Amino acid sequence: MKRTQIKVTTAEAKRQADIATQLSYHIKDKNLTYFIATFGCQMNAHDSEKIEGVLELVGYAKATNENEADFIIYNTCCVRENAELKIYGKLGNLKARKKKNPNFMIALCGCMMQQDIVLDTLKQKFNFIDIIFGTYNIYKLPELLQTRLETDERVIDIWDTHDEIVEDLPSIRKHNFKSCVNIMYGCNNFCTYCIVPYVRGRERSREVSDIIDEVKHLVADGVKEIMFLGQNVNSYGKNLTTPTTFASLLTQVAKIEGLERIRFMTSHPKDLSDELIEVMASTDKICKSLHLPFQAGSTAVLKKMNRGYTKEQYLELVNKIKVAMPNIALTTDIIVGFPSETDEDFKDTLEIVKVVKYVSAFTFIYSKRTGTPAATMEQQVDEATIKIRFNQLLDVLNPISAQYMQAQVDKEFIILLEEVSKNDNNILSGRTDTGTLVHVQADPKDIGEFVKVRITNAKTHYLNAELVNEKELGV
Ligand code: 5AD
Ligand code: SF4
C-alpha cells in the first residue's frame, strides 16, 4: 500500500527509538550481524549511514563481509538500468541462504523501490524478501523490523509522496572527522532522461537552523570537513517559509568555529548564482572544487533534456567561475547518446570538455528509464554509435585529466589525512581542498589531521607526495 509521509514529530522519533531498544533485548543475545550494500549516489551513501545507525541501535553488529551476514540490506539506485539489473542478479543468489540460516533476512530500500514496475517484479519473482521500504520512510525501520519479526510475514511499506522532512535519525559516521549533511531532498528539475524527481519527490529544503545545529553538533564531535548534499544545492532555500539562498547558508555555516572545510554537491548550472561564486571565492573554508554537470554540449540536445541553459551560457558561467577562482577544480557529468544526438551534437560535447578542461568527469551512456519523457522520444541512438562516441569522449577526457595531475607536481597542498591506503599500510591517503586524492607516507595516528605536503609525482587517479613539515594544523 502506498501512503503519504506524515510529519514526524519528536514523539514519533522517540517511539521508533523505543521500539529499537525493545528489539535490541532480543537481537543482542543472538549475536546477529548486518551488511549494507549501497548503490548509486552520495545521497544513498548517506541514507545507508542512517540505516546503519538504526541497525546498531537495534542490536545488530556490522558483518565483515556480505557472505557472513545474517541481515542483508540493499540500498538501491535506479538512475541507470545497469544498477537495477545488478540488484536482480544479487537477489537470485541470496535465496539459498534463507534455507541454511533461520535468522537470515533481506531488506531492500532506496530509489528502485519507488517504482511500481519494480515492486511488481519483486512480488512475482522474489517473494522471499523480508522487508521492502522506500526513500521517504527510513526513519520507520525499527517498526518495520518489529512487524517482520513478530508476524513472520514480509513487510512492504512504500510511500509515494511526502510532506515534511524527517530530522534526528541516529547515524553512524564512516569517519570521525568528516561527514555528509543533507541540506535538501528531492528535485524539481525534471530533466527528461532522469528518474530522480519521480522517486525522490519534490524539492524540500531543510531549515537553516536545523542544518546549523547539525553542523555544530558534528563539529563538537570532532568533524572538520562537511559535504552538503542535495540534488540541486543551488536552489536551496527557495521553498522555505522564509526564503533564503545557498550562498547565505554557506556564509553562516562558514562562521562555525572548528569547522575547517566545506564541500557541496550537486550544482545545477542554471541556478548557480553570482552571489555563490562571490561567497566561494572569498571564503577560505569553502573548498575550491565544483561539480558542475553539463550532460551534453549541444544546445539542441540540452533543450530536449530540459536542462535550462545553452552551450554558450554554460561556457560563460565556467568562465565567470574561473575568473573568480583561477585554481578551481571542475568536475562534471556527461551523458552520451541522448535521443536524437547527432555526430554534430556530440562534437559540442567534446568541445566543452576541451574548453573547460575538467579534472575528472563521470561519463554515462544514456539509459532509457521507463516513465521519463526521453524514454518515448523518437530517434533513440543505436548502441554501436554510442560506443564509438563514448570512446572518443574518453580519448579527449583522459589526457586533459592526466595533464592536470601532472601540473600538480612540485606544488604544495594542505591535505586532510583520511585513511590508510588500501594497498600499503605505510601510506595514508588524503584530499586536497580541490578534491584530489593524495598518497603520502605518514603516521596513522595523524588520520583526521591536516598536513602540508609536496607533490612528488602524478598517477592517473591520485598524486604521490611527501610531508613538508611535521604537522601543520589548520587550513
Ligand atoms: N541515463 C544516463 N545517465 C543518467 N544520469 C541520470 N539519468 C540518466 C540516464 N537516464 C546521470 C546524469 C546525472 C548523474 C547523476 O547520472 O549525468 O548527473
Ligand atoms: Fe535528475 Fe536533473 Fe534533478 Fe539532477 S537536476 S536529479 S539530473 S532531474
Ligand 1 atom nearest residue 362's Cα: 17
In sequence order, what DSSP letters do the residues of 338-376 get, joined into one string? -TT--HHHHHHHHHHHHHH--SEEEEEE----TTSGGGG
With CA atoms as reference, report the closest residue to 75 among 46, 54, 103.
46
For the CA of 188, the closest atom of ligand 2 is 3
| Share in percent of the chain as helix, strand, coil (round to 5) | 40, 20, 35
Would you say the CB of residue 293 lies under 6 angstroms from ligand 1?
A: yes
Confidence band, pLDDT 50/70/90 cuts, at residue 4: very low
Residue nearest to atom 2 of ligand 2 (CA): 191
CA distances from 385 to 62, 333, 337, 348 (A): 45, 20, 8, 16
- Distance (angstroms) between ligand 2 centre and the Cα of 158 equals 22
Residue 185 has pLDDT above 50, yes or no: yes
Cα angle vertex 271, ends 38, 192, to 5°? 60
Is pLDDT at 249 greater than 60 in this prediction? yes
Ligand 2 mean position, distance from CA 373 (Å)? 13
Would you place residue 425 in the very low, low, confident or very high pLDDT band (cuts 50, 70, 90)?
confident
Any idea which ligand is nearest the CA of 230?
A: 2
Does residue 10 have a pLDDT over 70?
Answer: no
Report the pLDDT value the prediction gives residue 373, as an integer from 0 to 100.
97
Say yes or no to pLDDT of 79 above 60: yes
| CA of 364 relative to ligand 2 center, distance in Å | 14
DSSP of 381-412, one letter per residue? Answer: PPHHHHHHHHHHHHHHHHHHHHHHHHHTTT-E
Question: Which pLDDT tens digit goes with each residue over 197-228?
Answer: 999 888 999 999 999 999 999 999 999 999 99
Instruction: For residues 345-366, give the mean pLDDT.
Output: 98
What does the alpha-carbon distance between residue 47 and residue 65 come to, in Å, rounded to a whole number? 20
- pLDDT score of 74 more than 90: yes
327 C-alpha to ligand 2 centroid (Å) = 27
User: Is the shortest distance between the CB of 83 and ligand 1 below 6 Å?
Assistant: no
Amino acid making up residue 8 = V
Tell me the residue length of the chain.
475
Summarize the confidence of residues 116-134 as an average pLDDT: 93
Query: Strand 155-161 to strand 2-4: parallel, antiparallel, or no bridges (unpaired)?
Result: parallel
pLDDT band at 165 (very low <50, low <70, confident <90, very high): low
Task: Answer yes or no: is the C-beta of 335 below 6 A from any ligand 1 atom.
Answer: yes
All three cell numbers of 170, joined, read: 541516529
Mutate to test the pocket of ligand 1, among 187, 290, 291, 335 (most ligand atoms within 8 A of CB): 335
Going from the Cα of 306 to the center of ligand 2, the distance in angstroms, rounded, reads: 10
Residue to mutate (ligand 1; options 43, 79, 295, 383; most atoms within 8 A of CB): 79
pTM for the full model?
A: 0.91
For residues 333 and 297, the answer to whether their CB atoms sit within 8 Å is: no
Which ligand 1 atom is the nearest neighbour of the CA of 266? 18
| CA 407 to ligand 1 centroid distance, Å | 30
